[in-house]
Amino acid sequence: MRPSKFTLALLVMNVGLVAAVAYLLQFYLRTPAPVAPEIIPPSREQSRAFEPRITTQILTVEKTNDFRWVQLESEDYRAYIQRLRAIGCPEQTIRDILIADIDKLMAPRLRAAGPPRKEPLTYWQPEEQELLNNFDARASLRAQRDVDFEKREIIRELMGVDLVGERMKVLGQEDYYGRRLAFLPEEKRGQARLLLEKFTDEEQAIRSKVWEEGEPLTAADTAKLRQLREQQQAELTRLLSPEELRQYELWLSPSANAVRDAVYGMNASEDEFQKIYRLQKKFDDAWPDSTPPEDADARAKWEQERMQMEQQIRAQLGEQRYAEFERGQDADFRELNATATRYQLPADVPATIYEIKLAVLDQRAKVLADPALTDEQRTATLKVIADETARTVQKALGEKAYKYFLRRGMGSWISN
């Protein structure tokens, strides 16, 4: 059935009405709207100063679906952050944008601090080998670290987050300090990490003469190390509350790290850890240097007090637990654990083989001390012990794991 003239007229009128409404709506949406005064901090180039100046301006935001990033960008990072937050941008996204922008801004300084590169590089030039042998990278690395510390400080001031922690989170990497400082608020966590790494850098610069040149530390070096530790402790005390400082020491102090290493494999309780820690800290406070003294008299006193600490730990733990404490500090036991994990052996295998080691060492000592044996008898007896030990350990580990264990340079007690 064909539509009547009246129906067609109504249809034309409706289309016209829709067009008129659309035009009015578009006109209304394009009308400028005033925005409240805002704080305008320094420009990005002046971001290190972090001294905001206050100005008043009217920002006209055009309401339109034609969104452009330039509407949000600012030469000042704080204003940039405010605008991103104002449109509901997720905080993690703001961090990512800001970090990427500052990375780009400071990239030329990092490149300038790095080793000199050949421009342009040709395929026949051994650039990597020449840089390895003909360029001293220490000063370059130090300069790059300085730029990195500066960049981290800027990020922390602007966002209250730690740059290293953010990058590790994005890359899915283990965050050593982040996990151990998790008891702190995020802002303090970043400050504490930066403080720790700066002092660690300075300490390593002093100790490098021992590692790289084989020279002993001088009295002046030792005094400087002590001064650095005191400065670090003073800054931590200013940054952290008393309870936070106590937690920090349990997580990251040299004394706590030494105890954690010592209780390897014994599944120590919190109470056992605290008992050992108190004794270790008392010793470390008396002898703050990490190495034994060079002076003979001081060294004798150091060894005496260390022996006293060990006796006190033994008394606190009891004989059985102290034996496990000693076992955890044996490189053979640790390598046995690594081997058992690699070859998916039962969890009790390392402890079983370690008991064999103790029995073999005791038996061998008795043979060596037996005055009734001739040299030939002693040699023959020791060979029998070594052969039987090898068969027993190989059976417990399995052939592949046993060969792997020996290839790792461990197990000298089996044949010697």
Distances (CA, A) of 40 to 48, 57, 102, 221, 292: 15, 9, 19, 47, 57
Taking the C-alpha atoms of residue 269 and residue 318, their distance in angstroms, rounded to an integer, is 14
End-to-end alpha carbon distance in the chain: 110
Nearest to 99 by CA among 84, 68, 79, 77: 77
Tokens of 64: 């339109």
Class of residue 163 by CB neighbours under 10 A (exposed 0-12, middle 13-18, buried 19+): buried
pLDDT tens-digit series, residues 26-51: 444 444 444 443 434 444 444 444 44
Tokens of 261: 């290493």
C-alpha 164, offset from chain centre: 9
Beta bridge partners of 40: 53
Q: Give me the amino acid identity at 398.
A: G
Answer for the pair 188, 86: CB distance below 8 angstroms, yes or no.
no
Taking the C-alpha atoms of residue 162 and residue 155, their distance in angstroms, rounded to an integer, is 7
Query: What's the confidence (pLDDT) of residue 71?
Result: 58
Residues in the chain: 416
Token pair 């003979």 in the structure block, residue: 296
Tokens of 264: 């390897």
Residue 214 region by backbone torsions, left for phi larger than 0, else alpha for psi between -120 and 50, else beta: left
Answer for the pair 74, 80: CB distance below 8 angstroms, yes or no.
yes
pTM strictly above 0.75: no
Residue 184: CB atoms within 10 Å: 20
Please list the pLDDT of the chain residue by residue as tens digits (416 residues): 444 444 444 444 444 444 444 444 444 444 444 444 343 444 444 444 444 443 444 445 454 555 566 556 666 888 888 888 988 999 999 999 999 999 999 999 988 888 888 888 888 988 888 888 888 888 888 889 889 989 998 998 888 888 888 888 888 888 899 999 999 998 899 899 989 999 988 988 888 878 877 888 888 888 898 899 899 999 999 999 999 999 999 999 999 999 999 999 999 999 999 999 999 999 999 998 767 887 889 999 999 999 999 999 999 999 999 999 999 999 999 999 999 999 999 999 999 999 999 999 999 999 999 999 999 999 999 999 999 999 999 999 999 999 999 999 888 899 87
Answer for the pair 255, 245: CB distance below 8 angstroms, yes or no.
no
Beta bridge partners of 61: 33
Dihedral of the alpha carbons of 355, 358, 359, 365, in degrees to the nearest 10: 180
Residue 255: CB atoms within 10 Å: 19
Nearest to 194 by CA among 236, 237, 238, 242: 236
